[in-house]
Structure 1
Amino acid sequence: MEKIALLLAFFLSYYINQSGDKLKERANKIAHKYILIDTHIDAPLLLYEKWTDITKKNDDRNFDYVKAKEGGLDAPFMSIYTPANYENNGAKKYADKLISLVYNVVQDNTDKFAFAFSYKDIIKNFNQGKISLPMGMENGSPIEGDLKNLEYFYSKGIRYITLAHSKSNHICDSSYDPNKKWNGLSPFGVLVVKEMNRLGIMVDVSHISDSAFYQVLRVTQAPVIASHSSCRYFTPGWERNMSDDMIKALAKNGGVIQINFGSDFLKDEILKKEEAGKKQIKEYLNEHKLNEDSKEAESYKEKFWKENPMGFADVKDVADHIDHVVKLVGIDYVGIGSDFDGLGDTLPVGLKDVSQYPNLIYELLKRGYSEKDIQKIMSGNLLRVWQKVEETAKKIQQSRN
């Protein structure tokens, strides 16, 4: 009897492994069969800090051409991130530098990369086997209080704008900033949303305060996106993620939440460790009168996190957030906005770089998602929103002629 039990256990284990291998193979095929869009990758900032040939494999970067091809990534939105301290201090000039870097990458490697100024460009480039590099602006500070700058950045290829980042700016309040100077959108921010609708720039509600989010929905004529946010259900009380009511309102608007891969975005226990660690670091820096950006401060932070690791979420946690959105509002309102190259060493096990998207698809397959469902998460939902934003812009422009 013992031999029979051992044999049965062996065959069951073999069957499970074989089934798993087949499912992994299918996940990899799906990753390359359909367009895969990731709405937030911080490669331009890393290129600005240290130029690297991203056509080659780079172990210290989450994104490069080799890993993107391996993982099936077809359209990574390049984040044109402007730090909050550039508000009233050369933000437009700073953003231009990052945009120029993206132009250099595309123009120097036209066999590998291509610009994408519309949803149709994404499809065309995919059919040609090229990786699209659309651009989204993270933080509206570069608008610098002048609506004409929106048209300027549109002409440069910016196709979404995250209205604020870590601090409230002249457009709206930030979820991170306790100083809610506008209680939502500023009067100028209302005009910004309307002008983005007119031009065909997607409004990105990641990073902004809850009040600003609901005001955006009241003002906008087009669907909006959360380019790199996750579900507050898993991180109660953390305003940076979206609450269930916000996700429902976003879906009613026809928009989409693109799930962020940061471990602190995904699991409350990790977020709490991070918050406690940051508090300790701040106390130490204040006690020793160290500037937060000084070399001494950076050295202390690095040492602190080595000695007090936060731990990591898992690819299953990303799937949990996708599940949550789907159960809440349906399959049509969720996608991928990893924040690769912007999260440091906080990425989940199984999703450490752009070569590993098939691991997420594998997890979704295990949970019973159909190929059609997965295609919507990969790109279908975001392309639908982008198309609607373009159509809305045409209608607005025609009505004013």
Structure 2
Amino acid sequence: MNFSLKKLSAILFAISILFSCTPTKEETIDYTSMTDAQLEAVADSLAKAYIIVDGHVDLPFRMNVKGFMITKTVEDVSVETTGNFDYPKAKRGGLDAPFMSIYVPSRYQETGGAKDFADSLIDMVSRLPVTFPSQFAMANTPADITTNFDQGLISLPMGMENGAPIEDDINNVKYFFDRGIRYITLTHSKDNQICDSSYDTTYTWNGVSPFGEQVIAEMNKWGIMVDISHVTDSAAFDALRLTKSPVIASHSSCRKFTPGWERNMPDTLIKAMAQNGGVIHINFGSSFLSQESQDKFQKMREDLTNYRAENSLSPEDSIYKAYAKQYTTDNDVYEDVEKVADHIDHVVSLVGVDHVGLGSDYDGVGDSLPKGLKDVSTYPNLIKELLKRGYSPEDIEKICYKNTFRVWEKVQEVAQELQSS
């Protein structure tokens, strides 16, 4: 069954259950007046019918930390795991194309070995389809993802979080393109050779470095999306000035809800990105979603640190773990799915529905995920909330994948033009 028929049949199936008939025009359906049960049925159907692209999932680093082994003795993501991402959860939630984050910690900028570490994670991701060929497939283009979707496979496109592995060799941009990298987050938690980080206070370059200008040009040439998550405002505006292609923020949220926190994007930058044709992929982490949650997490860290010190406990002690779990329950530190929808609403109110996507940061934001979005099985909860707010299925389809595909395809088109000029 091709994608369009699969999509149509899923939508019509949900509608027929709810109304015992199929309306001649989808526009006549008032989703905002449906019961919760009806909305859940439609949301689940749409999650299965549409391709869902997530701009940032940190499975590779999780596998590295836990020691992923082909022998399945440590971490087998083809079955249910305790992590945010695995095959059964992804299938339940309708996730079809999680960008695998090739995350390279900033410490490698000091110790060396960034390129080798990135290669090791790419190798690890590449083994998944070999080990589980009936479940996963690599994907280098939107067309690959569509083909895999039609075959029931979960695609594993890759983005590199931190440009440090490019080191000081511009030829490494093409090298990582050939290895399957399709976006590069220019830096991470420290200023690097390309640009400044929003988590740093050094402002080494006051934006993008001279070498970074070459990197962005080379990314444009080969068809790698420029990712401005993690960078300073000045670096982001420099990237927008320099690029010939649309850019993305693979896992950022709106600074309106976290005033003064540079890791999230201000309205001026969201508007500039939209003028460039780009897309902001909303991060699900509670600390990205509200100042209130940031404040609660800060107090929690202080209280738990004090508790461990007062009782001579380590983070691994069972007594401490039980206390910490009860603390989070009693103090309600987590945001909820509604707040993620608030961020989507804000982007749409600023620049329209064509410039927002999903960038959960699953397996990357630890235990800070919001209620209702605790793992990759829960995308229907967000779709349900958007339906309640009046978003049409066509709007949701754009948010799920069409906006990201549009940027990616334009980046490919510009690359072809640059290579032929």
Corresponding residue to 1:391 among 388, 413, 416: 413
CA deviation profile, 1:299-325 (whole Å, cap 9, x unmatched): 799799557647100000000000000
Task: Judge which range, 299-308 or 165-174, deviates more.
Answer: 299-308
How far apart, CA to CA, are the structure 2 residues paired with 1:153 and 1:62? 27
TM-score by length of 1: 0.89
Task: Give the aligned partner of residue 12 of structure 2.
Answer: none
Deviation, structure 1 residue 106: 1.3
1:141 matches 2:164: yes
Q: Tell me, what secondary structure is at the counterpart of 1:84?
A: coil
Deviation, structure 1 residue 197: 0.2
How far apart, CA to CA, are the structure 2 residues paired with 1:244 and 1:18? 33
Task: Give the aligned partner of residue 203 of structure 1.
Answer: 226
Deviation, structure 1 residue 245: 0.5
Deviation, structure 1 residue 119: 1.4
How far apart, CA to CA, are the structure 2 residues paired with 1:266 and 1:200? 31
CA contact (8 A) 2:297 2:333 kept: no
Task: Give the aligned partner of residue 92 of structure 1.
Answer: 115
Task: Give the aligned partner of residue 239 of structure 1.
Answer: 262
User: In the comparison of the two structures, how many residue pairs are matched?
Assistant: 376
Task: Give the aligned partner of residue 148 of structure 2.
Answer: 125
How far apart, CA to CA, are the structure 2 residues paired with 1:85 and 1:275? 24
CA contact (8 A) 2:168 2:193 kept: yes
1:312 matches 2:320: no
1:324 matches 2:346: yes
Task: Give the aligned partner of residue 54 of structure 1.
Answer: 77
| Unpaired segments ≥5 residues, structure 1 | 1-15, 289-294
Q: Tell me, what secondary structure is at the counterpart of 2:122?
A: helix
Task: Judge which range, 104-113 or 260-269, deviates more.
Answer: 104-113
Distance 1:94 1:282, change over 3 A: farther
How far apart, CA to CA, are the structure 2 residues paired with 1:182 and 1:278? 32
Task: Give the aligned partner of residue 237 of structure 2.
Answer: 214
Task: Give the aligned partner of residue 31 of structure 1.
Answer: 47
The within-5 A match list for 1:53-72 is: 53-58=76-81, 60-72=82-94
CA deviation profile, 1:360-381 (whole Å, cap 9, x unmatched): 0000000010000000000000
Deviation, structure 1 residue 349: 0.4
How far apart, CA to CA, are the structure 2 residues paired with 1:273 and 1:378? 30
CA deviation profile, 1:75-131 (whole Å, cap 9, x unmatched): 000000000000141101111111111011111111111111111111111111111
How far apart, CA to CA, are the structure 1 residues paired with 2:222 and 2:183? 11
How far apart, CA to CA, are the structure 1 residues paired with 2:145 and 2:35? 34
Q: Tell me, what secondary structure is at the counterpart of 1:78?
A: strand
The within-5 A match list for 1:1-400 is: 19-50=35-66, 51=68, 52-58=75-81, 60-88=82-110, 89-275=112-298, 309=328, 311-399=333-421
Write the letter of the residue equivalent to 2:259.
P
TM-score by length of 2: 0.85
Deviation, structure 1 residue 272: 2.2
Write the letter of the residue equivalent to 1:31.
A
Distance 1:320 1:66, change over 3 A: same
Distance 1:312 1:149, change over 3 A: same
How far apart, CA to CA, are the structure 2 residues paired with 1:142 and 1:74? 28
How far apart, CA to CA, are the structure 2 residues paired with 1:67 and 1:85? 32
How far apart, CA to CA, are the structure 2 residues paired with 1:178 and 1:303? 36
How far apart, CA to CA, are the structure 2 residues paired with 1:276 and 1:304? 15
Write the letter of the residue equivalent to 1:22.
Q
Identical aligned residues as a percent: 55
How far apart, CA to CA, are the structure 2 residues paired with 1:181 and 1:304? 42
How far apart, CA to CA, are the structure 2 residues paired with 1:236 and 1:70? 35
